[in-house]
Amino acid sequence: MFRKPFVVKKNNNMRNSDVKKFLNRLPPDVSELVPKKALVAHAKLSTYNGTTMNMYLVDKEPMFFDFDSEGVLFPTVYCTRLAPLSFPMLLIHEPVLRNLENGADLMLQGVVRKHELPMAQFARGDAVTISIISNGGQVVGPMVIGTALMSSQDIIANRFEGRGVQVLHIFRDLLCGYKKAIASIHFVLVVYLTAEFQFYAQCLLKCVPKEKRLDMKKTKYKKFSVFLDEVNKSEDGRIIQVRKEGKGCDVIVEVFKAHPAIRSFVVTDEVIHDEEAASTTLGPKIHEYYSITEGVLPVLRARGNYSKGQLLEGSQIRDIVTNYVKNEDLSQGNKVRLDPVLAQVTKISEESTDWNTLIQKIQNKMTKTFVLRMPDGRELVRKINMPKIVFKVESRAGNKKVTLINNLSVFGIEAKKLCHQIQVEAATSATTTSEAVNCEGPQITVLGNQVNYLGDLLMNDYGIDKKYIEGLDLGIKKKRK
């Protein structure tokens, strides 16, 4: 968008009433970047291809732009420097940035999937920022501003394939030369932004027990500056010296290593284990049996000491029937002559029948039984019918799609643990409902159409056979290339 020269058609200060309307369009944490007495101006720009757009300047610094006064507001790189986590962020490796600088859109195959910074939720058309992971593993950025070509749920459903972000503004383009502030921020981003990211990801998150979950936004430390202030409230004096460099930018200039808290710290090789051992994510192993009934005992007892209620596999039943037929000399090639015992058990009126029909008739006289053996040694027994895990996709208020999962408890899967796994891996909401229609046990509600992801999760991680899952066809269909 700004790779080629653009023309500023007008640049006027906004009235107070217009400024209030403008502030109402900003996210709460972003609106704090605009001081109450700040001078807010509106500039009209025309790009090289004739596109007209609006630029909003705060105290003569370009902060936001849009294409429609009622549409989506996009931050500038300078704005994201002041509030790096206020907009959804995607991470890429440094070589991918060169393609974006040449005018390419971001292909989802180049997005880093597993990182300490989880992918935020966003809808199609929302403003999205892109940061890079340097060769040293540091997060640098945001470096790119764009518009999402698909929602975060669709990205996961499509397994990170296809065009994900249309690039609008990128570090070092001509908009960065519009004001000196933007042109001189690169090293600040590298040194200070990554320090906060690395502290949260490498220090805080790694100390959280596996059965716990840390949500910084629900604590008083959601702003890193508040945490730094708390650190310096030690009775023995300050531990660090912090200098403010503009609004929203704090710099740690010195660490007082002679402080008692630091001098008393001892590094050990102690390994601390969670009190609650991490349970395996594998699901149950399902075994299919046939329970012996009174009606088939005459055939089975002729071949062994079998009793009512005993469980047999299908192959065992076939072997028993085969031995019975051979010992009684009832085989007639691919047919079996029915003696009085077989005729009574199978209720077949003809004098002979084929092998498959004979065995199927005997199995049908028995009770189908399913034994689920859990990784922790527990066993669950289901008779006659084995319920299936059922997926349903419904629309809620605002045309939001949700995925419902029924009957997980039948397979011994704990709903709360699965919800946590979904929240971490899919970066989406997952909640439980204790009672639901046509559902045994808790029902899980997941935001978005997540059928493809959930199906893979249950089949690959939990080992649930596809024949025990219903509704896999409701997933988002991949577009043919």
Helix (H) or strand (E) holding 230: helix 224-231
Domain spans, the chain: 1-184, 189-263, 286-370, 389-474
pLDDT of residue 403: 94
pLDDT of residue 256: 85
Sheet holding 331-332, edge to edge: 331-332, 335-337, 352-354
pLDDT of residue 191: 38
pLDDT of residue 480: 60
pLDDT of residue 144: 92
**Contact indicator for 105, 128 with CB cutoff of 8 Å:** no
Fold (topology level) of 1-184: Sulfate adenylyltransferase (3.10.400)
**Contact indicator for 77, 145 with CB cutoff of 8 Å:** yes
pLDDT of residue 190: 39
CATH number of this structure's domain 389-474, picked from the four choices 1.10.3720.10, 3.40.50.2300, 3.40.50.620, 3.30.780.10: 3.30.780.10
Count the Cβ atoms, other than its own, within 10 Å of residue 75: 27
pLDDT of residue 187: 38
**Contact indicator for 152, 122 with CB cutoff of 8 Å:** yes
Question: What is the distance between the alpha carbons of residues 420 and 430, in angstroms, rounded to a whole number?
Answer: 8
Q: What are the start-end ranges of the H helices in 233-370?
A: 260-263, 297-301, 314-327, 340-346, 355-364
CA 192 to chain centre: 28
* Residue 309 burial (C-beta neighbours within 10 Å; 0-12, 13-18, 19+): exposed
DSSP state, residue 88:
-
Question: What is the distance between the alpha carbons of residues 28 and 85, in angstroms, rounded to a whole number?
Answer: 12
Question: What is the distance between the alpha carbons of residues 323 and 431, in angstroms, rounded to a whole number?
Answer: 54
The pLDDT profile of the chain, 481 residues, written as one tens digit per residue, is 777 788 888 888 988 888 888 888 887 767 777 877 888 999 888 888 788 888 898 888 888 998 877 778 899 988 887 778 788 889 998 889 888 988 889 999 999 887 767 778 888 889 999 998 877 777 887 889 999 999 988 888 888 889 999 999 888 787 776 654 444 444 334 334 444 545 655 566 666 665 566 666 667 776 777 877 888 888 888 888 888 766 666 777 788 888 888 888 765 555 555 444 444 446 788 888 999 999 888 888 877 788 888 899 989 999 998 988 888 888 888 888 998 888 888 888 888 899 889 999 999 999 999 888 887 777 888 887 888 999 999 988 777 889 999 999 888 888 888 998 888 888 888 999 888 888 888 999 999 899 999 999 999 888 888 999 999 999 888 766 5
pLDDT of residue 51: 83
DSSP state, residue 363:
H
CA nearest 40: which of 60, 70, 25, 67?
A: 60
pLDDT of residue 469: 93
CATH code for residues 286-370: 1.10.245.10
User: Counting every residue, how long is the chain?
Assistant: 481
How distant, in Å, are the alpha carbons of 22, 49, 434 from that of 53? 15, 12, 50
